Amino acid sequence: MAGRRDLARATAGMTALTLVARLTGLVRVLVVAAVLGTTFLGNTFQSANSVSNLIFELFAAGALQAAMIPTLVELLARHDDAEAAHVAGSLLGLAAAVLAAVAGAGMLAAPWIMRVLVAGVESAEVRQAQIRLGTVLLWFFLPQVVLYAVGAVATGVLNARGRFALPVAAPIANNVVVVGACWLFWRLRDGVSPGLDLTGAQTAVLGLGTTLGVLALSAIPVVAVVRSGFSLRPRLDLAHAGVQRVLRRGGWAALFLVGTQVLLGVVLVLANGVEGGVVVYQVAYTLFLVPHALFAMPVLTALFPSLSRCAAAGDAARYARGVAAGLAAIGFLVLPAAAVLAALAGPLSRVVLFGESATAAAPVAAAVAAFAPGLFGYGTFVFLARALDARGDTRTPALVHLGVVALAALAMVSLAPAVDGAGRVVVLAAIHSLAYLSGAVVLGLRVWSWLPDDRPAVVRPLAIGAGAAAVAGAVMWVGQQRLAGAGRVGDAVVVAAVGAVGAGVYLGARALLGGTHPSHVVAGLRQAGAPDG
């Protein structure tokens, strides 16, 4: 029982911290959009800033995030802290060395990177200005990849030891620093609308401020690891058996993330062809990720160590219960959230956008509505991929994901260029939704075929949840159409009131359709994730 209470507290605590982190993250994205606008300046900043994330995900995140934690969990379960520290330190040394070299090469190649990203911009003058500014910004942003690696290793150590709070809270520091940098940039602009002709001081504020945010993000888990007494020192011992195991596992995990970054690259190039397109996509995608982070990621993070332990012990029945409980919890929470996004995208966008981005409420709302149908598919896909990671199978998620990305990229390249203006971003968002929804089905069938014959039922509860969410979404759509708000306050009232009604309709419809009681969903999650079973 103590283990179940610990899991419940961990999940509740992570949800609360994730809420703060995601809300401050949303504020950060909205402030960047408000200060830079849905302009070519906004496109340039967001594109250049995405490159460091893209490189980290390509070269290191797979091994560090997916493959390292199960290995450390197994070592710590045997109370072999010295071996765990040796593996973590070797991975830290390897990642830092590789990424430092990649960052250096990227800084030399910065002009060519920007040329690729803005290749779709029609105006040669605008394109050249973006290349010049983006090159300087990349010189600030690319060193961030080493900081990401350090933070990722420290976060993996904390998660493997069952300490989730500080890694979840770390993004708050990043968000606060970046918002502060944007405020300083706005003061330097002195009320002048932003353009691509920034001064040296303005460029430095954007570049250095963003990098300082990443430094804060990475420093928090590192300090937590040091204070916990865990010996995390960079070293290079690639011949160590534990390191070799992580690298073998991480190869497929890295391939999984390669697909994500390829798709991001396609989106950046296509969205850059529209003024403000990257900013609109980024804002809509951030709104889309808020419910994913609040409702899906805490479940995944809390269950992943338990699933890893079950897989290592060969406890197939309990592993199956964990997968079923995770899917039930994600479905219960994420399906109504998707209905809210789809039905209330209009007033929600008008509430949150301000400053230079206020005029982009309509295209952002359209993109959010296009993302919404894929919210459950995306969360489920990520959860099932990590459930397989816990078994040591990183190959299946990687191959399925590559198929998803290939089809999505082909559809984007084929369809998006035919659409002008903000409609292009809507097409990109809709393809993203359909791709991950399809991928979740394929991955789900694969996972389910491997579970014992007495596996818990999942399809019927999810179908009931989807039906209830559809009913709630329809009610909310009608409600927001009839109660159109007057101004930001009016729209906020509509979102709150209609959203509350929608939540009640969802719960009522679930009950009428014979859905699982919410308390049973929570109990199943506790039972599946508790260390004492």
Write the CA distances from 178 to 25, 268, 358, 445, integer angstroms: 10, 21, 20, 42
Tens-place pLDDT, residues 289-331: 989 988 888 888 778 878 888 887 787 788 888 888 889 889 9
Question: What is the rounded average pLDDT of the residues 247-256?
Answer: 76
- 10 Å Cβ neighbour count for 31? 21
Kindly tell me if the per-residue pLDDT of 4 is higher than 70.
Answer: no
String of DSSP letters for 32-54: HHHHH-SSHHHHHHHHHHHHHHH
- Residue of 289, 454, 293, 302 lying closest to 387 (CA atoms): 302
Amino acid in position 469: A
Candidate from 340-349, 355-364, 425-434 with smallest mean pLDDT:
355-364
pTM over 0.75: yes
pLDDT in the model for residue 285: 95
Written as six digits, the tokens of 432 are: 């993203």
pLDDT in the model for residue 524: 65
Question: What is the rounded average pLDDT of the residues 404-409?
Answer: 96
CB-CB contact of 422 with 274 (8 Å): yes
Tens-place pLDDT, residues 64-80: 766 787 788 778 878 77
CB-CB contact of 416 with 367 (8 Å): no
Kindly tell me if the per-residue pLDDT of 450 is higher than 80.
Answer: no
- Residue of 376, 390, 217, 392 lying closest to 302 (CA atoms): 390
pLDDT in the model for residue 499: 94
Q: Which residue, chain included where needed, has tokens 């070592």?
A: 75
Kindly tell me if the per-residue pLDDT of 156 is higher than 60.
Answer: yes
Question: What is the rounded average pLDDT of the residues 197-226?
Answer: 94
pLDDT in the model for residue 389: 82
Q: Which residue has the higher pLDDT, 245 or 223?
A: 223
Q: Which residue has the higher pLDDT, 13 or 171?
A: 171
pLDDT in the model for residue 219: 94
Computed over every residue of the chain, the mean pLDDT equals 87
- Where is mean pLDDT largest: 55-59, 262-266, 431-435? 431-435
Residue 533's pLDDT band, with cuts at 50, 70 and 90, is very low
Rg (CA), the chain: 23
**Residues 6+ away with beta carbon under 8 Å from 53:** 148
Kindly tell me if the per-residue pLDDT of 401 is higher than 80.
Answer: yes
Residue 84's pLDDT band, with cuts at 50, 70 and 90, is confident
